Amino acid sequence: MLKANDNNFIKKSNTLYLEEYLCPEIREVIVTIPKDIKSSIEEIRLRVNKPLMIYANNHDFFITRKGEISSSENQNNYIVSKKNIDNCIQFISDYSIYSVEEELKRGYITIQGGHRVGIVGRVVLENGDIRIMKEFTGLNYRVAREKIGISSKIIKYLLNEKKEFLNTLIVSPPQCGKTTLLRDIIRNLSNGMPDLKLKGLKIGLVDERSEIGAAYRGIIQNDLGLRTDVLDGCPKAKGMIMLIRAMSPEIIATDEIGRIDDAFAIHEALLAGIKLITTVHGNSLEDILQKKVIGDLVKDSVFQRIIILSNKKGVGTIEKIIDGDTFKNLLYCPIVNKVV
């Protein structure tokens, strides 16, 4: 495996660098990208026989063999080969594809540092279930970045007069920072915030896709606070029930709810007196009200606070914080957070 050096550009504290999971040919190209673009990279995309691409600053960029960037395809673009993909897979799996078979069934692998690699290829089924994925044709390296403190401005809106946490739903389109915000809210609630006279709370996190805690070989990579217990890789509904029975959480946190069994588990948590914070994909309050499961929960005032995110003023823009009973916006103007 490649050894990290001072030229590496995407660093997670006390972990390896993301470049260690790129094959040498791709790595040599990526490290020459202009510094201002490198620092904003959200995704590195490899597709067989297609140009090497990155996603940064809300734009797709094509990369040449010299690390130059362009917003349009041209003859100098670096073309990703099947060998590039296969070599990257070797680095990602630490030269043992069998050791990551279960993760491949989910379509992604979490690597050290909390970064996540989405993988596509030929899926082999057995009795209707995914048995294995092989003949890989594309990789998406999603860069993980913690943004400590981005929720500090809004925690006061998520508490009542008694400093009790209110059930909260984060609504966001893809790539608008919902997981980053959720992670930091969990951290603040778990540690407590003396300036708000908020004591630390016991939080149970069901991290079904390893996105929030970014566990690597069982070790949580991100800062989730002092009082947070994590069920990693566990289905949300089952995980919520397990936490209720075993860990006595004051708050249960999950990402991306939407199934009927999620709603059942949420009601079980409410009956146990446990507060909730979770997320859902959507563009607006009106949008989620049209979704069957989550719409019913919102209409029943399960969530007392609804946070609406966008990227209108940059990724992580908090457009609205809505009262779940009156549907009134509690903000005078959007709050801009620099998430990337």
Does position 86 have pLDDT exceeding 90, yes or no?
yes
Are 111 and 18 in contact, with CB atoms under 8 Å apart?
yes
Could you tell me the CA-to-CA distances from 214 to 9, 79, 111, 280 in Å, in that order?
A: 19, 30, 8, 19
Residue (of 85, 80, 140) closest to 108 by Cα position: 140
Burial class, 83, CB count within 10 angstroms (exposed 0-12 / middle 13-18 / buried 19+): exposed
* Count of CB atoms situated within 10 Å of the CB of 117: 25
Are 244 and 274 in contact, with CB atoms under 8 Å apart?
yes
Token pair in block for residue 131: 């048995």
Q: pTM for this one?
A: 0.83
Residue (of 280, 7, 329, 300) closest to 169 by Cα position: 280
pLDDT at 7: 41
pLDDT at 265: 96
Q: Average per-residue pLDDT in the chain?
A: 90
For the ranges 42-51, 121-130, 173-182, the maximum mean pLDDT occurs at 42-51
Which has the higher per-residue pLDDT, 59 or 7? Answer: 59
The alpha carbon of 239 is separated from its chain's Cα centroid by a whole number of angstroms, namely 18
Q: Which of 13-27, 139-153, 291-305 has the lowest mean pLDDT?
A: 13-27
Would you list the DSSP string of 109-133?
EE-TTS-EEEEEEEEEEETTEEEEE
Longest dimension (CA), the chain: 63
* Count of CB atoms situated within 10 Å of the CB of 249: 22
Edge-to-edge, what's the strand order for the sheet holding 116-126? 69-70, 59-63, 53-56, 41-47, 129-142, 116-126, 108-110
Does position 184 have pLDDT exceeding 90, yes or no?
yes
| Domains of the chain listed by start with CATH number | 18-142 (3.30.450), 155-323 (3.40.50.300)
